[in-house]
Amino acid sequence: MPRRLPTPPLLAALVLLALVLWLVLGDLQRFQNDAPDAGDATTPSLTRVEYQTLEATRYPPQRTVQGQLEALREVELRSRYSGRVTARPVAQGSAVEAGTVLLELSRDALEAQLERAEDQLELARSELAGASGLRQRNLISQPELLRLQSNVSVAAAELAELRQSLAETRPQAPFDGVLDRLYVELGDVVQIGDSYARLVDDRRLKATGWVAQRDVFDLRPGLDTRLRLLDGSSLAGELTHVASRADDASRAFYIEAEFDNPERRRLAGASATLTIALPEREVHALSPALLELDNEGQLRVKHLDSEDRVVSSPVELVAGQASVAYVTGLPDRVRLITLGGGFVAPGDTVIAMPADTDATPDGRETP
């Protein structure tokens, strides 16, 4: 026969089972009838952020352009008469004034031809004067008088052409400058169109360059421009020209600036850096790390309104460096979120804590 459990252990097992059933089911009916106390729910906590109060300041933005220097006026002088070089009155590298004779060419028979043309013109005028009196008495026809007038015009044109040719045997400087190059020697024969010298006026310099299309909108003639040379020195001038049309290949815009060169330093042909001062703007200086980019590619900055709600405002980047960005588009006085901005969204109410007043624009303490 099977053995029976002793009575005390069986009784203890029954009591334990009854206790478990009471613990599980005893208060079920009360929980179904009585809702839990509302005070038992956990209240979500607000996110804590730090902010820094910024004031708008005046900032003069700049455009930096790599440019090429040229003399304000430079010309290749070409002969307008064929002849042999008989003299070089000016040495290469000399400063000359406008009207200075730079070269002398052989005149050959020009002077004799000029004298004959003067005589021909005087004869034609005398014949015309006599014919005019005869015409008044109807002794010659009107066509004959017109022919004589034509002879005067032809003789005058031939004389003027010879005088011009004679002047071209002594070519002159068209403006003040330096005879930078002289290509011919005594005895050389130059033909019409041959280059014989290069004249440079470097009392003023012209800097040329190209500006990307995204940077050209603020540029206009008259803006102050500084020219920084490779030796560290600089010249002051102004922007004189901004192209109205971009280059087809590069989509960049051509610009020119002019500078005084009172010392006549030899700078034409060198490269230099142009710094163009743009009109001042109201900006806020902040850390580039606080800038955000939305889905449309617009830069934004998070700040707080008067009720400690998060606001995300679009901004325009005026200028930037590695440690600071200058932006527009914010209120004149703004509480900029400097810490915790990545954990909040626009419209969220936060616990705003002021950052250290000695902090840098990104909210970090200065050393």
Q: What is the pLDDT of residue 78?
A: 94
Q: What is the pLDDT of residue 230?
A: 83
Q: What is the pLDDT of residue 356?
A: 72
How, if at all, do strands 48-55 and 351-354 pair? Answer: parallel
Q: What is the pLDDT of residue 173?
A: 93
Question: Do the beta carbons of residue 326 and residue 351 sit within 8 Å?
Answer: no
Mind listing the domains of the chain with CATH numbers?
A: 49-59+281-354 (2.40.420.20), 64-71+202-277 (2.40.30.170), 111-167 (1.10.287)
Question: Do the beta carbons of residue 313 and residue 328 sit within 8 Å?
Answer: no
Q: What is the pLDDT of residue 37?
A: 57
DSSP assignment of 60-100 equals --EEEEEEEEEEEEEEEEE-SS-EEEEE--S-TT-EE-TT-
d(CA 159, CA 22): 139
Q: What is the pLDDT of residue 337?
A: 93
Q: What is the pLDDT of residue 25?
A: 60
Report residues of the chain scoring pLDDT below 70.
1-10, 19-44, 357-367
Q: What is the pLDDT of residue 186?
A: 92
Nearest residue to 67 (alpha-carbon basis) of 217, 320, 277, 275: 275
